Structure 1
Amino acid sequence: MTALAPAAGSRRVLADIIARPSTRARAFAMDATLVLAGVAVVALLAKVSFYIGPVPITGQTLGVILVGAALGARRGAASLTSYMLLGLAGLPIFAGPVAGPAYVLSPSFGFIVGFIPAAFVAGWFAQRAWDRRPVLAFVGFVAASIIPFLVGVPYMALILANVVGSDVSFASIMGAGVLPFIVPGLIKAAFAALLVPAAWLLVRSLDRRARD
């Protein structure tokens, strides 16, 4: 087991279906591969986006939920930390064509920071088997989806007021950074709450066939 693997006593997540290598070095290499695969998933879904204001509606949150649930809390958080750092290093993996260190001045950067604890929370619920039943998965995934707003909305207000120079009010921030995302967020959480339990059903079905 490596530092990124789920803690002792936690239930398996989807990534744990893969047989763990016997040596610590190989186990670490596998965890690193899973973390980078998570980066790729979020980067791909980030390109599914459209702007309705200073913060775009994207597929990133869906990717964050899926990566956290599939990899578990620690690997999920490591994956989204890597995603943020690689984007700041200049890789074009954020929504839109802009990347690099200057992205910290983007109104949407706070949401990217919030993706890290969001993935951890999605993984935390998954490690307690909430991802195996659609209703419980939906509750856990909605909880995880809220977290980026706790970081992103205050950060957006700060950037708009002090960098962009916009007039900022509670109503304008709610209109730009919260209200347009409620329904899409619920839809993405619901989709993930169907997809992940379906993946577990497939795993159990294949496992039964292997035993027969």
Structure 2
Amino acid sequence: MSNAVPSTLRTVLADRIRTRGLAVDAALVAGGAVFTGLMAQVEVPMWPVPITGQTLAVVLVGATLGARRGALSMLVYGLAGLAGLPFFAGWTGGLSSLALPSFGYVIGFIPSAAAIGWLARRDWDKRFFRATAAFTLASAIPFVTGLPYLAIALANLGLPHSLGVVLAEGLYPFVIGGVAKALIAAGVLPLAWRAIGRRSR
């Protein structure tokens, strides 16, 4: 009788930690939220949406922790920021962040982390070209919520909010950076797996 683990049940990086349990999972989730908060401060200030390191953090956290823990980590990140911790760009936080035109992207971090975590558990993070495709897809997900939120926020501020304006302000400036972040993540994760493989020999 074979004891092989089906490909759909393969591990993510966090599963390689020797000590497991609820406390470890909670620490991983919290650590992912803190890491994302720190990466939010790697910022090119722009308005209405700044360029930050958050998206890179989101895909790395999701791929490392898996879908459930990754999504939960992003939920904790968003709630902690709304509770007042300075987790958002520019060391900001609080309920007033809901009025920011960029907050829709933060909402999108949750499904983005879940998607890359789901793909990582199916080995999409172990080879560069597949990882690039997976991380590019996950990096695009925050725009699904970010762009409509941006349009509504601009309208509430009495500013132009046509499709062209929203795309010019909330999508086009981030395409090159998004691809670059996907390439960085696609390089880092396979290297991490190789390092773990060498240590386990």
2:189 is aligned with 1:196: yes
Tell me the amino acid that sits aligned with residue 190 of structure 2.
P
Give the equivalent residue in structure 1 for 2:25: 31
Distance in 1, matches of 2:38 and 2:8, equals: 33
Distance in 2, matches of 1:117 and 1:111, equals: 11
Give the equivalent residue in structure 2 for 1:16: 15
Distance in 1, matches of 2:8 and 2:91, equals: 42
Query: After superposition, where does 1:133-172 map in structure 2 within 5 Å?
Result: 133-162=127-156, 164-172=157-165
**Identity %, equivalent residues:** 48
Distance in 2, matches of 1:194 and 1:50, equals: 23
Give the equivalent residue in structure 1 for 2:172: 179
1:26-77 Cα offsets, whole Å, 9 max, x none, are x111100000110111111100011233000000000000000000000000
Give the equivalent residue in structure 1 for 2:63: 69
Tell me the amino acid that sits aligned with residue 42 of structure 1.
T
Give the equivalent residue in structure 1 for 2:43: 49
Distance in 2, matches of 1:140 and 1:39, equals: 21
2:116 is aligned with 1:116: no
Q: What is the CA distance between 1:168 and its match in structure 2?
A: 1.4
Distance in 2, matches of 1:161 and 1:93, equals: 26
Give the equivalent residue in structure 1 for 2:4: none
Tell me the amino acid that sits aligned with residue 19 of structure 1.
R
**How many residues end up aligned between the 2 structures?**
195
Q: What is the CA distance between 1:98 and its match in structure 2?
A: 2.5
> TM-score when scaled to structure 1?
0.90
**RMSD between superposed Cα atoms in Å:** 1.2
Secondary structure of 2:159's partner? coil
Give the equivalent residue in structure 2 for 1:4: none
Runs of 4+, deviation exceeding 3 Å: none
Q: Which consecutive unaligned segments of at least 5 residues does structure 2 have?
A: 1-6
Q: 1:96 aligns with which of 90, 100, 103?
A: 90
Distance in 2, matches of 1:120 and 1:35, equals: 13
Distance in 2, matches of 1:116 and 1:187, equals: 21
Q: Which range moves more in the overlay, 195-204 or 95-104?
A: 95-104
1:164-183 Cα offsets, whole Å, 9 max, x none, are 11021121111100000000
Q: 2:77 aligns with which of 80, 83, 91?
A: 83
Distance in 2, matches of 1:35 and 1:190, equals: 24
Secondary structure of 1:52's partner? coil
Q: What is the CA distance between 1:9 and its match in structure 2?
A: 4.8
1:116-139 Cα offsets, whole Å, 9 max, x none, are 000000101100011000111110
Distance in 1, matches of 2:194 and 2:143, equals: 32
> TM-score when scaled to structure 2?
0.94
